[in-house]
Structure 1
Amino acid sequence: MAHPFSKGWKYLTASLDRKIEENADPLVQIQQASDAAHEQHEKIRRQATEVIGNKNQLEMKLHRLLGEQEQLQQKARQALELAGQASAPEDVRELEQAAEIYATQLVSVEQDLERTQQLHGQAEAAAREASAQVQQSEARLREQMAQIEQLRSQVQQTKMQEASAETVQQMQQVNPDRDVPSLDQVREKIERRYANALGAQELSEHTMQDRMAEIEANATDFKAQQRLDAIRAELGQGNTKQQQLEQPDGESEH
């Protein structure tokens, strides 16, 4: 049976990992993926470098052993030739012993040379495989970098769209300032004042028209009275009514 503390700890870590994953910045995660891809490629390159370096080291050893083989063969041949030409038994024995020593060394070098040739063959195959893996890793890295750049561009576009949407939402939520009159209120106030001014103008015009009509009516009455006096004068009654009007009350004509 699992220990309760162990189960709780696993649940807590899983929950924490999920929250971190949900709140993580995609650009940071993309950069992490890019760094991991480059690190993996560099690891393959380092391993391939070591393999190819081992092959190169074996090649240098082969060249050295081949040189030693040639030298020992030449020395053993010269010792045998000199032993065949020597006349003193001691010189012959000494030269033959030298030839045997050269031959023993030559056998050791040839054995080492054989082992080195086998190792070099294996190293060559490993180096070819390592080079192929490096080429595959480079192609894979280029593909990953192209995908990473595409993802980075998508994340940036998504952030721009989210920022634009948030700005539009904030603009929609902006409330008008209650301390400042709205455009409709200002328009209504101006129209009301303009209408009142028109009403005052119309009233003034009507009053002026009435006054002018009254003046015109008085002028007409005055002219009519003058015309009537002129007619009376033609009839010989010019001063009769005027005298009547001027005569005081209680007096009679003589």
Structure 2
Amino acid sequence: MFRVIRRAWRYMVFALSGRLDELSDPRIQIEQAIQEAKEQHQRLTQQAAAVIGNERELEMRLARSLEETGKLQANARQAILLAEQSRAAGDERKALSYEDSARAFASRLVAAETAMQDAQLMHERAAQASGQARAAVENNAMALQKKIAERMRLLSQLDQAKMQEQLNKAMGDLSGLAPAGDTPTMDAVREKIEKRYARSLGEAELTSNSVEARMIEVERASIDVEGAARLEAIRDSLGLNKKPEVES
């Protein structure tokens, strides 16, 4: 039973995820991916800064250790010289005191040199880690720039896809391939107009062949003949139709 419930849950999660991907706006998804890449780069930069800061701290500690080692070595040398000078002057007690100081400086010098070696080893490791961190930041910065450039390309491609979809829809409407809706297609309008035009031509043909049309045509011809005769009479009254006399 538990296995069935788990399988059903996984199916629901997969189905909802697929539906969400279908409904998601690609532009928003692109911006989300870029924002995630920027945040990841920022986290990586902060981690690299901490690594580089640790290198700098160890470098300063190593410098102090070198300085302290140099001072202890100089003090030990000075104590030995003073002991030799006191012994040469016949002051054995003072010479022994300087020798005790020299041994103390030498002991501290050994401890300082050990600490300095440890500091050098830690600094070398930190320098190596710092170099890797710098390289990681540079590589990630290049990858981020590529993603930003890819974003511009994808957004441009998305706009072209939307424009092409609108063009395809418009061409589909013009070609009559669009699904039926409230707005008629051009084919439907053209078919309606052609049907009305053909009907009007048929009615005109029937009207022209009717008895009434022929009677009107005869009457119009009679009127035209009478009009021509009247025009000739007017011309005769004006003397325009007289034939010119022929000279003998």
Match of 1:154 in 2: 157
Match of 1:118 in 2: 121
1:94 maps onto 2:94 in alignment? no
Aligned identity (percent) is 31
Match of 1:236 in 2: none
Aligned match for 2:147, one of 122, 144, 149: 144
Whole-angstrom distance in 2 between the partners of 1:161 and 1:212: 69
Whole-angstrom distance in 2 between the partners of 1:211 and 1:128: 115
TM-score of the aligned structures, taking structure 1 as reference length = 0.66
Whole-angstrom distance in 2 between the partners of 1:91 and 1:210: 168
Cα displacement string for residues 179-236 of structure 1 (whole angstroms, at most 9, x for unaligned residues):
xxx79969x69xx7xx9xxx9798456236348869x99xxxxxxxxxxxxxxxxxxx
Match of 1:48 in 2: 48
Whole-angstrom distance in 2 between the partners of 1:167 and 1:109: 84
1:206 maps onto 2:206 in alignment? no
How many residues were matched structurally? 209
Letter in 1 for 2:96: R
Provide structure 1 residue ranges, at least 5 long, that are not aligned to the other structure: 218-254
Whole-angstrom distance in 1 between the partners of 2:224 and 2:19: 86
Cα displacement string for residues 105-144 of structure 1 (whole angstroms, at most 9, x for unaligned residues):
2111100100111112222222222223233223323333
Match of 1:250 in 2: none
Give SS of 2:60's match. helix
Letter in 2 for 1:72: L
Provide structure 2 residue ranges, at least 5 long, that are not aligned to the other structure: 209-214, 234-248
1:82 CA drift (Å): 1.8
1:35 CA drift (Å): 2.0
Aligned match for 1:175, one of 162, 184, 188: 184
Aligned match for 1:128, one of 120, 128, 131: 131
1:168 CA drift (Å): 4.5
Relative contact order (alpha carbons < 8 A, sep ≥ 6): 1 or 2 greater? 1
1:155 CA drift (Å): 0.8
Give SS of 1:175's match. coil
Whole-angstrom distance in 1 between the partners of 2:227 and 2:14: 99
Whole-angstrom distance in 2 between the partners of 1:211 and 1:65: 136
Whole-angstrom distance in 2 between the partners of 1:27 and 1:9: 30
Closer, same or farther: CA 158–202 of 1 in aligned 2, 3 Å: farther
Whole-angstrom distance in 1 between the partners of 2:106 and 2:225: 152
Letter in 1 for 2:169: E
Whole-angstrom distance in 2 between the partners of 1:56 and 1:3: 56
Match of 2:246 in 1: none
Cα displacement string for residues 62-84 of structure 1 (whole angstroms, at most 9, x for unaligned residues):
11111101111111221222222
Paired residues for 1:4-15 under 5 Å: 4-15=4-15
Closer, same or farther: CA 200–76 of 1 in aligned 2, 3 Å: farther
Closer, same or farther: CA 209–108 of 1 in aligned 2, 3 Å: same
Whole-angstrom distance in 2 between the partners of 1:108 and 1:88: 31
* Higher gyration radius (CA): 1
